[in-house]
Structure 1
Amino acid sequence: MVLPLTLEKMKEAHTLLTEYFYELRPVVHGYANRTLHINLDNNEISEKPVTMEMKKLFTGGRGFGLKLLWDAVTPETKWDDPENELIIANGPICGTTGYAGSGKATVVTLSPLTLNVVDSNVGGYFAPFLKFSGFDAVEIQGKAVEDVVIFIDGDTGKITIETAPLESVDSHLLGKHLTRMYADDEKGQRGVSVMSAGDAAEHIRFAIINATWYDVRRKEVRLKQAGRGGTGRVFRDKKIKGIVVRYSKTGGDSNGPFDIDLIRKAGVRFNREMSELDDKQNQMKKVGTANIVEIMDHFDLLPTHNFRYGNHRDTHKIDSSVWKEKFTQGMPDGCWLGCTMSCTHGVDDFPLKTGPYANDKVLVDGPEYENAAGLGANIGNFDPQKVLELNFYCDTYGVDSISFANAVAFAMEAYEEGIITKEDTGGLELNFGNGAAAIELLHQMGRGEGFGVVVGQGVMHMKKIFAEEYGGDPAFLHDIGMEIKGMEISEYGTKESLAQQGGFGLATKGPQHDEAWLIFMDQVQNLLPSFEDKAEALHYFPMWRTWFSLHGLCKLPWNDVTPEDNGDTTEPAKVEEHVENYTWVHEGVTGIRVSANDLLLQSERVYNFQKVFSIRMGRVGRRHDYPPYRAMGPVTVVEYESRAELYDSQLVDILGLKPENLSIEEKMAKLREYRESQYELLLDAVYKRRGWDMNSIPTVAKLKELGMDLPEVVEVVEEARKA
């Protein structure tokens, strides 16, 4: 009889590789004023000061991460080289308990998925605890020889690196084990946060990192995800099993605010709106981001069958009413202290039916909109049980649910088109709607075997495999492969929104909705009629949304509940009262009085730096800013026919053609020529507004204007323009 492992036995099996003691110091006006460097090649631990110039130019969060990574790598560095760093940074407002959504970290690294620099944000308690423990960022370089746990103890001022041979890798177990192992007692679990990735992170390119927090009401360890770009693969490639941070003394002044009353002033105003308006606006407290499933379906925007279509007759089976009933209601669901938005919902005691944890009852964190849309409609799966099963295993195995959904949908379309067969898939029938097959692919990713590993390479890499090994037409595969710059597109159909096509195509790290979400402004509300209007929106909103990642903030409190009179303001989409709140919070934390334009300038500096960084790493030129044609228009006859009335009317009204005189193929060709030409004009307008040249390279004049004309940055730009 094999006895189960206990926490004591797991801990006893740890071997201490190194320990480092540091001085505990209070956070001052939002900054710990130092960063932590760990080299796993030799287990060296050191500290770096945060300079005033670093704060001025890079602000914090994503900016600090990008700067630290820039200094660590060369243009030749690959994602799996030891010198690639995994950087986790917080930001000056991060850790504030007086304003909602202030608990985010940003993870920065070179991506195995996009093969370039990537950033991904994550909630939970890790970011605030890291700062309160003494560090504005941690950068991890090198590779351990065997699995290790890094423990940052902000209670005692000690950091250790320990081998960890026995703990399970999967995040729902590891998060629980390490939380209990490093907490003094049950109450102390609230002061511990763990970062981890699961079994699949060792085999696929779009692996995630999970960050935990302890839910004191459920008495459960819960997970939030740094989901985009393959950060979890880097995590496991470095043989990190877990990063644990402990800080048990969090209070309202832990972030060292300059004027806590100013923060409270903003918080009271926002909290009143949540109390009075949320239930009749988006019901974030009851259903979270899943509230928009049926809205997307209504406006023909819900990605269905690999983005072929925008709605489906069975959407009601996975819409917000379904999740509202399954979520535990009446329980605070904030993923950081003081967040009254409370949108992080979960399904308690969910009975798993498949995989290594079959018959277990687990807590499923979600689904959020992206999971419901991707794991549901986009693969044709309208079974909520299977959506939740996929949701859970994506999280615990360490799999990005957006990339997984798009990669599976791409494989399903290739299967239905005859490009791949049952022989290629190992016997799986990858038809749209086969949720069981999707679940099996996910388990294969966890085991590191079968066709699931091929799908786990992501759409960009699958396009090459399907063309070279299975004889697929490269042009067709490119048209239907829903990725840009190597990253799978967020779950929104964009065929009728030119601005949203640009929002995805122009995003530096890849097409993630946290940079630019303009689809309602453009398509539904028709607020962006001209190219100049679209270009202005594609300047303002990416800059504004970048700002959240500099400061350690969640974007949802900005616009997922709005003031009652917001519709009467000059530009409702900007939610100007909430922008004013952020100027108060910024001043209240840092002591620096700012305008809305000052906040945008912080972002514009870092945004352009990240663009130059991507150029430095080899992504040069306009050619990288195009979406696949399916994001712009119909690739196949069935797609055209599904919206034939709309497309025919556009041929008449816009191009002056007579559709009755044309075959469907001719109609499609005419429509494609027009839409692609419109996208070219959009790129021209956006480059001009951003101060870039027509090859998508920031000008030296723009860098000087921003104060980002550092010699090493200017050198990259000048070399790129010569090429």
Structure 2
Amino acid sequence: MAALKGLAGQILRVDLTSGSITKEPTPEDVFAGYIGARGVGAYLLLKELKPHTDPLGPDNKLIFLTGPVEGTLAPGANKITVTFRSPLTGTYFFSLCGGHLAPEVKFAGYDGIIIEGRGDHPVYLWIDDDRVTLKDASHLWGKLTHATEDAIRAELKDEAIRVACIGPAGEKLSRFACIQSDYHREFGRGGAGAVMGSKNLKAIAVRGSGSIEVADPAALEALAEKTYSILAGNLKARARRHYGTPEMVDGTNGLGYWGTRNFSSGYFEEANKINAASMKENIFVGHISCYACPIACGKVSYIKEGPYAGTMIEGPEFESAGLLGANCGVADLAALVKAVEICDTYGLDTMSAGAVASLAMECYEKGIITSRDTGGLDLRFGNGAALVALMEKIVRREGIGDLLAEGSKRAAEKLGVPELAMQVKGQEFATYDPRGCKGMGLGYAISPKGAHHMIAPTMGAETAGDGSKRFEYKGKAALVRETQFLLAVVDSLSLCSSMRFALGLKEQIELYRAVSGLALDEAGAMLIGEKITNLERLFNQREGFDRKDDYLPPRMLKEKMPTGPSQGHLVELDPMLDEYYDLMGWDRQGRPTAEKLAALGLAHLWREVS
């Protein structure tokens, strides 16, 4: 057991090339310095990955890490992080997954799993407490994700085993393939599933029977009870429990920044057909909760009739409804659910899938591609049946689906219309149109992962009150910076971001102290968040990324929002970038200065890896 409380005490390292499996002591100094999961992952990837590593080559790594408060009474402590170099963006990347995988890994005795190398045939990793083996997975290759989970549990004769696996999309190296766990939880963005597929690793199965020691059990119990009480009375948390994440549809669309028809607009006229109320009335049949979560935002949906009758999923989540729904002009709930099911079972990120579909639809409507290119599909915006058929092509890499599986940046460049890809660094936008929420535009641009909404989710602060702050651009750099540091702490603790309804930074650090026994304060936590942000920037700088890559598509900068409550607005990116770089202590090209690195104690690390 680790001396630093809250840790299991070991890191599992698996070399698929040699088949060797080793157990290393958890680097407690690194966990103390970077809290856990995201922070430790950034540190290890920068230290261990050679410059310019091929994201789909054997030298790339998948670094799965947990946080210190997981496996305890801490509410919402259920995220596990995988860190890697993305085949979609070429950047540093981390992806989060909820459900029950993270605590199971810790109960098995590990704070993380590092996967490296490439097997010469398909395998899966079986972790049964201290017994760890690689098992042949040739019979599983080609199976869908749900079938893979079922087959592994049957083979190992235990229905309680937790499984993370890839589907055919990962095997076929789709650049935005994801890793599925608990059927409907995903390491969603950036292509972790493709990296796993490139390594011939079909799945990771875990069974743990241990427990996690905490420093102050009484204090942790009191904090947990307080958090549950706050969440029970919090209106936002109650809405999330009742409706799931789609509770955000009406507010986002109502303010006119819900990405619509490949972000040609921010207002979807048929949003009422795919909003939370419509889902609740027409398709929701149950609730699902992640480990230690009192909100239970997961909603089970079932299609009762029509061509997709019998389809059942968890979701659609807000982002899936946005990218596969509004952004494709699709208001058909049944088609939306079916599109999500295809992505889930084949192992594909629903957000990027919706983004590439909307790109193809705009190209179709503009005559850039025709029915000859689409295999006869009528890819006009709003055609739900065509959306479903297109998802089938993408997950199988058939016809135009083969091109779209490369991601919107590569696809748009191949089609000669790079300006129509709504992406940053190769990562497609989340569902928020930054012309109606300008801090999100800066957040997309500076994100180390590309256009990811949870690097600096400023939308809540920007739309508070009368909502007019969202149109301001001066001062947004400070908001983005602070939010970015806060989220780095949340992700390193491995808390679900929904816990922020009840847990501010003060309360999060109280949980951390009760678990770990370390005397971290709020200022110290924010400093760690700043260090993590700079580590991520240093990785990308090493790979050649700088200000030229902190961009937004021309549509956001030159085409005023045409309709809706955000009509007439653009994103003033350059002045926000200048302000942000100044606040970060970076030069005008977005590179951390020597003085900043020295102040953060990172200068030696940069010298080691540069």
Same structural fold, with TM-score higher than 0.5 when normalized by the shorter chain: yes
Distance verdict in 2 for CA 1:78–1:692, change over 3 Å: same
TM-superposed CA distance for 1:549, in Å, is 1.6
Q: What pairs up with 1:70-219 in 2 under 5 angstroms?
A: 70-96=46-72, 98-154=73-129, 157-167=130-140, 169-184=143-158, 189-190=159-160, 192-203=161-172, 204-212=174-182
Correspondent of 1:553 among 495, 518, 525 = 495
Correspondent of 1:590 among 516, 520, 523 = 516
Q: Deviations over 1:550-582 (max 9, x none)?
A: 1221111103xx5xxxxxxxxxxxxxx632221
Instruction: Confirm or deny that 1:60 pairs with 2:60.
Output: no
Secondary structure at the counterpart of residue 495 of structure 1? helix
CA contact (8 A) 1:494 1:631 kept: yes
Q: What pairs up with 1:661-676 in 2 under 5 angstroms?
A: none
Give the residue type in structure 1 aligned to 2:582.
K
Distance verdict in 2 for CA 1:412–1:27, change over 3 Å: farther
Gaps of 5+ in 1: 1-24, 213-221, 468-476, 563-576, 651-674
Aligned to 1:626: 551
Distance verdict in 2 for CA 1:273–1:643, change over 3 Å: closer
Distance verdict in 2 for CA 1:551–1:352, change over 3 Å: farther
Indicate the larger mover: 377-386 or 340-349: 340-349
Distance 2:295 2:255 in 1: 26
CA contact (8 A) 2:166 2:180 kept: yes
Instruction: Confirm or deny that 1:322 pairs with 2:278.
Output: yes
Distance 1:528 1:292 in 2: 16
CA contact (8 A) 2:266 2:433 kept: yes
State the structure with more CA Rg: 1
Secondary structure at the counterpart of residue 334 of structure 2? helix
Give the residue type in structure 1 aligned to 2:228.
N
Aligned to 2:196: 235
Give the residue type in structure 2 aligned to 1:141.
E
TM-superposed CA distance for 1:313, in Å, is 2.3
Q: TM-score, normalised by structure 2?
A: 0.94
Distance verdict in 2 for CA 1:604–1:461, change over 3 Å: same
Distance verdict in 2 for CA 1:351–1:529, change over 3 Å: closer
Identity %: 28
Distance 2:98 2:249 in 1: 22
Secondary structure at the counterpart of residue 294 of structure 1? helix
CA contact (8 A) 2:13 2:21 kept: yes
Instruction: Confirm or deny that 1:41 pairs with 2:13.
Output: no
Aligned to 1:505: 445
Aligned to 1:662: none
Secondary structure at the counterpart of residue 81 of structure 1? coil
Q: Deviations over 1:611-656 (max 9, x none)?
A: 101111222x211111112234527xxx64x369953xx8xxxxxx
Q: Deviations over 1:579-619 (max 9, x none)?
A: 22212101111001222222112221111111101111222
CA contact (8 A) 2:65 2:113 kept: yes
CA contact (8 A) 1:495 1:633 kept: no
Aligned to 2:402: 453
Correspondent of 1:225 among 175, 181, 186 = 186
CA contact (8 A) 2:288 2:299 kept: yes
CA contact (8 A) 1:103 1:125 kept: yes
Q: Deviations over 1:138-170 (max 9, x none)?
A: 11111111211110111xx10010112223521
Correspondent of 1:696 among 587, 590, 596 = 590
Correspondent of 1:606 among 524, 532, 541 = 532
Distance 1:409 1:297 in 2: 18
Distance 1:394 1:130 in 2: 26
Give the residue type in structure 1 aligned to 2:244.
G
Q: What pairs up with 1:366-445 in 2 under 5 angstroms?
A: 366-445=315-394
CA contact (8 A) 2:106 2:208 kept: no
Q: What pairs up with 1:309-388 in 2 under 5 angstroms?
A: 309-326=265-282, 333-336=288-291, 338-348=292-302, 353=307, 361=310, 363-388=312-337
> How large is the RMSD of aligned CA atoms in angstroms?
2.3
Give the residue type in structure 2 aligned to 1:425.
T
Aligned to 2:232: 275
Instruction: Confirm or deny that 1:257 pairs with 2:214.
Output: yes
Q: TM-score, normalised by structure 1?
A: 0.80
CA contact (8 A) 1:406 1:459 kept: yes
- For this pair of structures, how many residues does the alignment match? 606
CA contact (8 A) 1:444 1:453 kept: yes
Distance verdict in 2 for CA 1:44–1:455, change over 3 Å: same
Secondary structure at the counterpart of residue 375 of structure 1? helix
CA contact (8 A) 1:352 1:362 kept: no
Aligned to 1:680: 574
TM-superposed CA distance for 1:379, in Å, is 0.3
Distance 1:325 1:625 in 2: 42
Correspondent of 2:461 among 521, 530, 535 = 521
Distance 1:352 1:72 in 2: 52
TM-superposed CA distance for 1:465, in Å, is 0.7
Secondary structure at the counterpart of residue 149 of structure 1? strand
Indicate the larger mover: 69-78 or 482-491: 69-78
Distance 2:565 2:388 in 1: 34
Q: Deviations over 1:325-367 (max 9, x none)?
A: 35656x662211x21111122125767946xxxx7x4540111
Distance 2:304 2:532 in 1: 42
CA contact (8 A) 2:178 2:193 kept: yes
Correspondent of 2:264 among 308, 313, 316 = 308
Secondary structure at the counterpart of residue 134 of structure 1? coil
Distance 2:176 2:45 in 1: 20
TM-superposed CA distance for 1:38, in Å, is 0.6
Gaps of 5+ in 2: none
Correspondent of 2:600 among 683, 692, 706 = 706
Secondary structure at the counterpart of residue 284 of structure 1? helix
Distance 1:578 1:56 in 2: 20
Secondary structure at the counterpart of residue 301 of structure 1? coil
Secondary structure at the counterpart of residue 389 of structure 1? helix
Distance 2:167 2:458 in 1: 34
